[in-house]
Chains A and B, each alone.
Chain A
Amino acid sequence: MTRAAPDGEALYATLRDAIAAHVANHRSLRLVGIHSGGAWIAARLQRDLGLEGDAGLLDISFYRDDFNRIGLHGQVKPTEIDFTVAGAEILLVDDVLYTGRTLRGALNVLFDFGRPARVDLAVLIDRQTPDGDARELPIAARWAGARLVLDRASEFVLSEKDGRFDVAIAASIRTGA
């Protein structure tokens, strides 16, 4: 089932506006982006919402649940969290929420740093499949740029060029995670 790719910039603007009020009311909130797409989005949100410092970055390579099947997956990027996680209010940022496994890994990383006071999730695309069964774990996004339906044979690919986001639809290379 093909569809036209969504407008990345439009999605970003919607997301930014959706969380702006909450961020303004919770000055101690910390943004943490999940590599790679979430990291780009978190960095831009950090600037656009006038937050001090840098957004945290998180790599889940060592926390994936499919290590026993496929081993270490690709390039490991740095995890940089320059605040104390214990007791913090954290907003995790990612590009696409699909099965929820990436988010579970991200939560595990955070908890190895310390016990946060609360963790919320903001995503550019909250993805569902035609059969309504996209989520494989009970995970939900509190804010999303859009809720979109896409068949299992395809996937959304976020890219960043000259500071602008672009979303493409490509054939899925998933190994079934």
Chain B
Amino acid sequence: MFNPQLDNAGRLRHLLSIDGLPRALILHILDTAAGFAGLVDPRREVKKLPLLRGRTVFNLFFENSTRTRTTFEIAAARLSADVINLNVSVSSTNKGESLLDTIDNLSAMHADIFVVRHAQSGAPYLIAKHLDRTPGSNIHVVNAGDGRHAHPTQGLLDAYTIRHYKKDFTQIRVAIVGDVLHSRVARSAIHALTTLGVPEVRVIGPRTLLPTGLEQMGVSVFTDMKKGLAGVDVVMMLRLQNERMNGALLPSAGEYFKSYGLTAEKLALAAPDAIVMHPGPMNRGVEIESSVADGSQSVILPQVTFGIAVRMAVMSILAGS
């Protein structure tokens, strides 16, 4: 069955979505990331590996993001790759150039990897398909977030984080809380966790922020956060975008926090050693209380470190194929 992310030999050619990646491949990426974790050893003078020396990574961010772009930059730099940042949102598309024309122009500059973030779901698929059809092109596409659809490196780093603290995917319950409707982080996490064998993935949010047909992704849906958190081992909080509040989706941040914000009190309903995750940046007091964000169960900062190792793993695997 054709899978646009894999080549004929089943190796990863593009990373577009966790949906459709075989379990063995996901585990391979996590294992490879583990190998990179030791890079920040203080005894190393050169905190870099020569793996991607001479390769070029273009960061094509059609949608702005300093955080994600920076972590990809660091990951590429740690592999000794050359990184070029293209904030396409402010340049060519404003002049009316089509997405594929921009891609053609950039491929003529000979890069090895395009890291793409775009506001439209599916944009990286269009780009990958176009590049694969372009003769002589061997450019790999990494999806750094497309619309509401997917954020595969985030899903992978979330899986890595959970494996780091909980070891066995098949023995845990995970709850994802927040604006699932608009969240590519949620979708990628759901695919990763269900593929890796997590027996219970729960999604918690107000009805207005839950898409119809969510159950078919293999999750159980809760609108009552207290019920949803009962006994879970991992709590993944999602970011609530400011545009969603004060509108027809949610009346106010205050009301949201009351029912769906993670407080110490609500966290106590989860397993005593439950970990708290958040993709960042956090809205303190909206989706999460400071005492929890900074508390002992929070693994939010390690997530960032793991994110660099995971992105290094993805780029190494792609560049080596």
Q: Kindly report which residue of chain A lies nearest to residue B37, judged by CB atoms.
A: A78
Would you call A131 an interface residue if the criterion is a C-beta within 8 Å of the partner chain's C-beta atoms?
Answer: no
Indicate if B1 sits at the interface (CB-CB under 8 A).
no
* B44 engages A72 (CB within 8 Å): no
Q: How far is the CB of A110 from chain B (nearest CB, A)?
A: 10
Q: Is B51 an interface residue (CB 8 A)?
A: yes
Nearest A residue to B48 by beta-carbon distance? A112
Within 8 Å of chain B (Cβ to Cβ): is A172? no
Per-residue 0/1 for A69-96: is the Cβ within 8 Å of any B Cβ (1 yes, 0 no)? Answer: 0111001111111111110000000000
Task: Choose from B34, B41, B48 the contact partner of A76 (Cβ within 8 Å).
Answer: B34
Instruction: Give Cα distance in the complex from A86 to B316, angstroms.
Output: 28
Within 8 A of A (CB), among B94-143: none
Question: Is B45's CB under 8 angstroms from A71's CB?
Answer: no
Tell me how far the C-beta of B156 lies from the nearest C-beta in chain A, rounded to whole angstroms.
16
Contact between chains at B43 and A71 (CB < 8 Å): no
Taking a contact as CB atoms under 8 Å apart, the answer to whether B32 and A113 are in contact is: no
Contact flag A63-B317 (CB < 8 Å), given A76-B31, A76-B32, A76-B34: no
In the complex formed, the residue of A with least CB distance to B44 is A113
Task: Report the minimum CB–CB distance from A63 to chain B (whole Å).
Answer: 6
Q: Does A130 contact B (CB under 8 A)?
A: no
Contacts of A70 in B (CB 8 A): 320
Contacts of A126 in B (CB 8 A): none
Say which residue of A59, A86, A112 sits within 8 Å of B35 (CB atoms): A59
What's the Cα separation between A61 and B34 when bound, in Å?
13
Interface centre among B35, B38, B41, B317, by most chain A C-beta atoms within 10 angstroms, is: B35
B24 interface hit (Cβ, 8 Å): no
Instruction: Knowing A61-B35, A78-B38 are in contact, say whether A112-B51 is a contact too (CB < 8 A).
Output: no
* Total residue contacts A-B, CB cutoff 8 A: 58
A111 nearest CB neighbor, chain B only:
B46
Contact residues on B (Cβ < 8 Å of other chain), bracket? 20 to 34
Chain B residues with CB below 8 A from A85, complex form = 43, 45
What are the residues of chain A within 8 A of B212 when measuring CB–CB? none
Contacts of A108 in B (CB 8 A): 50
Binary interface profile of B, 19-54, with partner A (CB < 8 Å = 1, else 0)? 000000000000110111010010111101111000
A62 near B49 with CB under 8 A, answer yes
Which of A62, A75, A79, A83 has the most C-beta atoms of chain B within 10 angstroms of its own C-beta? A62
Q: What residues make up the interface of B, taking CB atoms closer than 8 Å to A?
A: 11, 31-32, 34-36, 38, 41, 43-46, 48-51, 316-317, 319-321
Contacts A/B (CB < 8 Å), 27 sampled: A62-B50, A62-B51, A63-B50, A70-B320, A71-B11, A71-B316, A71-B320, A71-B321, A72-B317, A72-B320, A75-B31, A76-B31, A76-B34, A77-B35, A78-B35, A78-B38, A81-B41, A84-B43, A86-B45, A108-B50, A111-B46, A112-B44, A112-B46, A112-B49, A113-B44, A113-B46, A114-B44
Given contacts A76-B35, A81-B43, 17 further A-B contacts (CB under 8 A): A62-B49, A62-B51, A67-B51, A68-B320, A71-B11, A78-B38, A81-B41, A83-B43, A85-B43, A86-B45, A108-B50, A111-B46, A112-B46, A113-B43, A113-B44, A114-B43, A114-B44
